[in-house]
Amino acid sequence: MKTIAENRCFGGTQGVYSHASKACGTEMTFGLFLPEEAATGPVPVLWFLSGLTCTHENAMIKAGAQGWAAEQGIAVVFPDTSPRGEGVANDEAYDLGQGAGFYVNATQDPWAPHFQMWDYISAELPDLIGAKFALDMDRQAITGHSMGGHGALTLAMGLPGRFRSVSAFAPICHPTRSDWGRKQFTAYLGADEAAWAAHDATLLMQKNGFDGPVLIDTGTADQFGDLLGTEHLAAAMAARRQDGVLRLQKGYDHSYFFIATFMEDHIDFHAQALYA
């Protein structure tokens, strides 16, 4: 593992690191905020999964998570959204290829050799950071934005017992019924829609639910609202009597201004579960 940068931040350290990924077959980069408490012992972990076109850097710089995480003594991991580099498949469209991994394990060419983001986020990166840093991997929570909100919800429901809480900002809630999903799942997973179900938060909520609390915020002025399918997940949560809150925030859009506005709420929400 290589250290790209380490900066003092709210009494702790904001680091950026890279490593050779076996899952993705290329060099991967991630950010990690460690609060001051990590100097004396393991701290709980919050994952932040970013959305389309983002790298590890967008949320790390724009979301405003570090200050609130420092107050709660929580580490925050900022993974990249896809594999990158020479020889990694890509597409001219912003919503497919590099920057658009959708947190799945691709089975179709040309994506399969590198686009193994489910394995990377669920296994390889946790094993790496758990061995290298003072993190309590028995206390994990997960959040994300847009495509990353989709990833947070599907990982939380797809890995029972892993995460104590899950939240999302404007998540893609029903990708099997959205252009933000059907296009990418066809490319990465093939035409058999049965293979898509494990990566659809609405279908997972209907089938399994989540064994902890859920918090979702979406803006009423979100310019991508028709692609998110918020109403489908809301109906599934209500039908299942899921422990959770879904809030429609008046006037807010899809931007990081929206995320930064409600980041304190999300950090506090996860802190309650991580320290329960």
Active site residues: 146, 222, 254
Which residue matches tokens 């983001």? 117
> Which residues does 132 contact at the CB level (< 8 Å), separation at least 6?
1
DSSP 11: T
Dist. CA 192–CA 208, nearest whole Å:
21
The identity of residue 245, as a single letter, is V
Dist. CA 251–CA 249, nearest whole Å:
6
Q: Give the dihedral of Cα atoms 151, 252, 203, 210; nearest 10 deg.
A: 70
CA geometry: angle 100, 226, 228, nearest 5 deg:
45
For every residue of 127-188, which 3-state class applies, written as one string? HHHHHHCCEEEEEEEEEEECHHHHHHHHHHHHCCCCCCCEEEECCCCCHHHCHHHHHHHHHH
CA 9 to chain centre: 22
b/e 32-61 (16+ beta carbons within 10 angstroms → b): bbbbebbeeebbbbbbbbbbbebbbebbbe
> Which residues does 125 contact at the CB level (< 8 Å), separation at least 6?
28, 30, 77, 79
